[in-house]
Chains A and B, each alone.
Chain A
């Protein structure tokens, strides 16, 4: 009996959380298309979410591209298929690793920052103060972050893709004896528009997930510093898991087999 009750409790909690998240998301999305839109805040958030994430995303993309080239070389040499390194690197980076690695890094940086900031505003009654000053907190706080993340992430991933391919190129030419010109030509001839755009679409979705999780957990944080800490952790964890799950779904939708 107790087991049943525990399972029931978990199920109820799950559906309540999903429901309130869905309501929050619907509210936020509908606020995106109704005026006023705070353009200045969107630009400011793009700086914070996109521009300041460049170093960390760039570095991780570089090393990922490098290690990918190395492993593919080692693996494919068992079949004498070493020449396929550039093709597989660019495929892996643009389709999967670029968006996922950038998504996870930005989730750690940005979802946490958003949740902490909005959570603090919640527990210090700043969100209530916004309401009393006739300003809709969803429009003022959530919409700029959502739009900024959805716009910045594809740009960030496009850059991450290039740096990732560069990482593979550096490793291949410096330590795997590839000819640089041939490597680049093989990369360029092989990669398709669909490879790149699929990754950019994923990036936009991940941006949405990151900002939504940060805002949702921040908005619902309760009870002082500890509550804000919990909200921050939950934002990062849930954003990361949702990114990986959404990535699988998107891959199977975009590349049906």
Chain B
């Protein structure tokens, strides 16, 4: 397939996913261009995490197609899938650290297993990446269970960026961090995009973080992308759903299904 400068890094076309009779993704169309940092916003349970899991092949979409660098990856598995995944870094919403391994080995895991870097060298890289997320070398020897939730998140971040991937997915990178550390992480995401030219797709509820790290914002609602535009336009989207979401209002077109 011809690769031009305009080939998006990741493209979703009409991706649908349902669990049982519950439709979670109802035809998602979304592109992530090279060097872009896209933030996807949307209410809790709208399927943001499911969407990125479909791209990574952790979940299989029921229909629709997914492309990475112009290559269709929807039905890849085995070696071919592993090769595609080498381009990705992923921060899981719940960190998903390996609790049987010390912190440094968590961070170095992709380097050692996926890229065949010798352990000693991988360890030095891990300690360097940990420093980037504000964790000292003393943390490297601890087990993940000995860390606070926010520290685990930062280790997850260090793991996501450790192998210098081209595309990074951050599932709620600043949730559970104090405001100052959240800003440090925002800065880190911005600088990784700038320095390394990576493309990022982040999911967040934190509008301050979204504004800071993104060049584009897309909003997911009821299984579809209902708005997609430059971050600068988010305040003048003219979309009542977006307005309600970014201002955090209980009144508006989005109805929370709670009983009073």
Where the two chains meet, the residues of A that have a C-beta atom closer than 8 Å to any C-beta of B are 117, 120-121, 124-126, 128-136, 140
Contacts and interface: CB of A to CB of B under 8 A. Distances in A.
The 7 A-B residue pairs with the shortest CB-CB distance in the complex, in nearest-first order:
A134-B114, A125-B96, A129-B96, A133-B110, A132-B90, A134-B82, A135-B113
A140 B94 CA distance: 21
Given A126-B96, A131-B58, A132-B85, 13 more contacts: A120-B99, A125-B94, A128-B53, A128-B58, A129-B90, A133-B85, A133-B113, A133-B159, A134-B82, A134-B83, A134-B86, A134-B110, A135-B109
B56 interface: yes
B97 interface: yes
Contacts of B245: none
A126 B98 contact: yes
B99 A132 contact: no
Interface string B104-138: 00000110011000000000000000000000000
Contacts of A134: 82-83, 85-86, 110, 113-114
Contact of A131 (B57, B94, B99): B57
Contacts of A121: 98
B170 interface: no
A114 B155 CA distance: 26
A131 B110 CA distance: 10
Nearest to A132: B90
B50 to A, nearest CB: 12
Given A125-B92, A125-B94, A133 B53 contact: no
Interface in B179-237: none
A253 to B, nearest CB: 35
Nearest to B116: A36
A129 B89 CA distance: 10
Contact of A124 (B82, B94, B113, B159): B94
Contacts of A130: 98
A38 to B, nearest CB: 9
Interface string B61-98: 00000000000000000000011011011101010111
Nearest to A134: B114
Contact of B114 (A117, A124, A129, A135): A135
Nearest to A135: B113
A135 B83 CA distance: 10
A31 to B, nearest CB: 10
B172 to A, nearest CB: 13
20 contacts: A120-B99, A124-B96, A125-B92, A126-B97, A126-B98, A126-B99, A128-B53, A128-B56, A128-B58, A131-B85, A132-B58, A132-B88, A132-B90, A133-B110, A133-B113, A134-B83, A134-B86, A134-B110, A134-B113, A135-B113
A129 B98 contact: yes
Q: Which of A129, A136, A140 lies at the interface centre, i.e. has the most chain B CB atoms within 10 A of its CB?
A: A129
Nearest to A38: B113
A130 B85 CA distance: 11
B67 to A, nearest CB: 18
Nearest to B114: A134
Nearest to B100: A117
Contacts of A133: 85, 109-110, 113-114, 159
Contacts of B92: 125, 128-129
Q: Which of B83, B86, B113 lies at the interface centre, i.e. has the most chain A CB atoms within 10 A of its CB?
A: B113
Nearest to B110: A133
A141 to B, nearest CB: 10
B28 to A, nearest CB: 20
Contacts of A129: 90, 92, 96-98
A121 B113 CA distance: 18
A32 to B, nearest CB: 16
Interface string B28-62: 00000000000000000000000001001110000
Q: Which of A125, A135, A136, A140 lies at the interface centre, i.e. has the most chain B CB atoms within 10 A of its CB?
A: A125
Nearest to B165: A132
A228 B200 CA distance: 34
Contacts of A120: 99
A120 B94 CA distance: 13
